[in-house]
Structure 1
């Protein structure tokens, strides 16, 4: 899963392939808190949250809603989150006893399914690596002419696809690492020669390069540092090096197996429920902390940022490593969340391959049966998810892949920027006329980071918690609504987009209507949703439920 959400710089200046990450085509900076602002009054395509609070929610009472952040960890001590963390009142902190007898010892703010008493998993493989290792002993030496039964033939074809995908991804990661390291090398030479670690454009204009590579690097970075400054450029370059290095060393390393002798579970048993530890922060809580703040960072404390919802309890369920999440852990995270009272499950993660879809399907069915709403990020690969897989999904399938049902209480979320023009859809966002329900702000979203810090990130990972926050805002004021009613309200109250927007599909640039690449054809809107919720809640049919 792409967690950087930033431009990682090209090495076209080094005569090597163009490599980028998720980014928006707009270089300018949006207004602060833009995702919560109003298109008409503020000029940015937010979801009108502030308008809703000002005009619809004054003096209105609300009830707390538990939102589970199934992610990579949350800094529960963050200044903008600490007071709204879910607390398991039935558990006595630190006594080493499972007081509430739910199977999880000292789960005060949630649970960690990728850790043990000894260690927390930080990095993991991509699922395709785990599948390659699973099938390689049987199919590595096989040929197309090898006689297989129907099941074996499908496995062999999958293995061939996995290997092809793996080789392409590994080559891209290795080249990306080489390119970004080379840019860093020449930048370091330049700043060392200048004796200036934060040069301006004027400083670079005055500098006399000692070789052609330095000249090319300077030519490339000058327009980039005009957008911000050299330090920010350099930080993002280091992020790129870290990203590619992690891909090569961990995500795409067939010899790396972090699960072995770490978590302490029987990984072959997908139905095993009770393992892990109570450390919901873990070694890398950046992504989950950022997601949590978007949902409900405290609005009334005059510090930091403002989340969408103002009466939420955040439950941290650490499930996603730096790498692909595992199906067993996802299933257990879903079950843990609803068993402990979560009404909304935010899932800002996804992957292209599955290991045990059945166990995840069963957990999703369980969550739906308990009245929960599942909100899932559509993914950051600029792909049509009607054609390309992004697991988990709302579709339940049998062992042959035939669809056997669907999770109705599920919202799939794509990402948009702040400008109401053809660039509205984020360049990285996945889309799908039947697979993506709504779009929501997901570009340059400022939110909470570990250590009581704040940072802008991009991604459908940021768009999903905007929708989770909206669902929580609705539910907190209209608690008798069902999950399906909350979803229906969100879907029917979107701001419809009339103009065509740019996407890229199968290598071709296209201009399409938002209704062609999503079910609702619009961007979620808090003001409209609360008006519709009031109408729905006041109707006789709603009261009778």
Structure 2
């Protein structure tokens, strides 16, 4: 799974470093920057507003269903409730499958992460599930069959990888605890339990650590008070590491009994509930807002597309998604009218890629465009592939209407490629805004988030916009338009290279060498 708290991880790493170095001060993004135009506004958005103003006024358009395969969506959010998909043939809460599609009460979508017993919130990493299987298979290392020796080596490697993750999470958790204590000490010296931002700015640090903490607090303060900052940034990070240790990395934790399916049966389809929101719809709500938050209601934010119905398909817990659920979610979305599927998730291991591939092939047969986030590990996907991906395991080819998205920032310089974004000359297709993207959060709130989880829905929104105004275009044609119309980046950018950095051409980190652009895409679509 893509880390949900990437900003917190960066913050924890910065303030826990043994040497406190000052962060580079960069210009803040403009509101709605992802939809702005580089030439007109000075920030590298996708020119959505320019497209609406110059190309789309008075044009007819049709609604497009976009499936958000995620943790759930807040269907009551002030900026989302009007654009939630409604199954026209289903009656809510009558426990009857009115439309005979195999899913009772799927009014706004479906959840493959629950049952009448409740909803799953947490799960393991796929790595842990693989190790659990290995524990049973290799219970007696002295009696391993010769044919299983390579598998045993792979199992040992996974065990070592998990232990490394556990050690890192424990260290980070302890570091964040020390940071919290240091902040509390500073606040005590200020003589206030909840100092204002001005009080914090006026405080005179007593050592280099306090200097750095003061700087980071002021740069990440947000709109609330100090207690809000501590709750969101510091205690939020501590909670993240606790969740990793208690759930993600815990070999003894398994929540699948809540679903009640036979997990070993990958052909089982009709399980789950109609709960399209779930217990923690933060990530999915943020994704949905980027795609299609209502543009003309004077509330919150503006989504990319103006005539979209968001179908929520709960697929991703706090932990790694399961291949069986991903496969069923893709099938559900494609069978129930989605023309774009957004998948802002990924993992390093796959237990049943064939099942996912078969579902992707089904989506291709239904003329669906799949938009997938490249990942947030700052790695080369050409060398270290993640899952799911468009390449079929049976070597029969690849999903033609699948587009892989990297994350870009708002400043057109060497930092344009987001430092966390995975890249790949052959495996990543194009980039889109994914830094400091403000979008919808549960409870009719809003928040900035970073990640390829944010850049993928920018592209999903644009794909839906194209399909709405040019409904005769196929999914393949829409992908072709997105690729051909990308704005080329003609300067070098910095990407991670192991523990270091290197400067490369943008054409070396994605197939198009550019960033999606709504204005250029819609101009091109008009010629098809």
The aligned counterpart of 1:406 is 398
Rounded to whole Å, the distance in 2 between the matches of 1:337 and 1:385 is 27
The aligned counterpart of 2:154 is 158
Aligned: 1:148 with 2:149: no
Aligned: 1:271 with 2:267: yes
Aligned: 1:5 with 2:6: yes
Rounded to whole Å, the distance in 1 between the matches of 2:193 and 2:330 is 51
User: SS state of the match for residue 405, structure 1?
Assistant: coil
The aligned counterpart of 1:295 is 291
Call closer, same or farther: CA 1:52–1:192 in 2, change over 3 Å.
Answer: same
TM-superposed deviation, 1:14: 5.9
Aligned residues of 1:13 and 1:216 also touching (Cα < 8 A): no
The aligned counterpart of 1:540 is none
Aligned: 1:97 with 2:96: yes
Aligned residues of 1:375 and 1:412 also touching (Cα < 8 A): yes
With structure 1 as the length reference, what TM-score do the two structures score? 0.91
The aligned counterpart of 1:476 is 468
TM-superposed deviation, 1:233: 4.3
The aligned counterpart of 2:338 is 342
User: SS state of the match for residue 330, structure 2?
Assistant: helix
Call closer, same or farther: CA 1:307–1:142 in 2, change over 3 Å.
Answer: same
The aligned counterpart of 1:524 is 516
The aligned counterpart of 2:243 is 246
Deviations 1:208-236 (A, max 9, x none): 86xxxxx4542221221332537364221
Structure 2: where are the runs of 5+ without partners?
none
Deviations 1:355-389 (A, max 9, x none): 11110010000100111000000000000001112
Rounded to whole Å, the distance in 2 between the matches of 1:37 and 1:305 is 13
Aligned: 1:504 with 2:491: no
TM-superposed deviation, 1:237: 1.3
The aligned counterpart of 2:258 is 262
* RMSD across aligned positions (CA): 2.1
Aligned: 1:187 with 2:183: yes
Deviations 1:247-276 (A, max 9, x none): 0111001110111x2101011101100001
Rounded to whole Å, the distance in 2 between the matches of 1:264 and 1:130 is 17
> How many equivalent pairs are there?
519
Aligned residues of 2:124 and 2:248 also touching (Cα < 8 A): yes
Rounded to whole Å, the distance in 2 between the matches of 1:170 and 1:17 is 24
TM-superposed deviation, 1:96: 1.2
Rounded to whole Å, the distance in 2 between the matches of 1:104 and 1:14 is 49
Rounded to whole Å, the distance in 2 between the matches of 1:302 and 1:202 is 34
TM-superposed deviation, 1:153: 3.2
Aligned: 1:47 with 2:39: no
User: SS state of the match for residue 311, structure 2?
Assistant: strand
Deviations 1:400-425 (A, max 9, x none): xxx33100100000000000000000
Call closer, same or farther: CA 1:228–1:394 in 2, change over 3 Å.
Answer: closer
1:165-184 map, 5 Å:
165-184=161-180
TM-superposed deviation, 1:131: 0.4
The farther-off stretch of 228-237 and 301-310 is 228-237
1:388-537 map, 5 Å:
388-398=384-394, 403-536=395-528
Rounded to whole Å, the distance in 2 between the matches of 1:485 and 1:380 is 28
User: SS state of the match for residue 396, structure 2?
Assistant: strand
Call closer, same or farther: CA 1:490–1:196 in 2, change over 3 Å.
Answer: same
Aligned residues of 2:16 and 2:176 also touching (Cα < 8 A): no
Rounded to whole Å, the distance in 2 between the matches of 1:93 and 1:393 is 35
Aligned residues of 1:353 and 1:389 also touching (Cα < 8 A): no
The aligned counterpart of 2:37 is 38
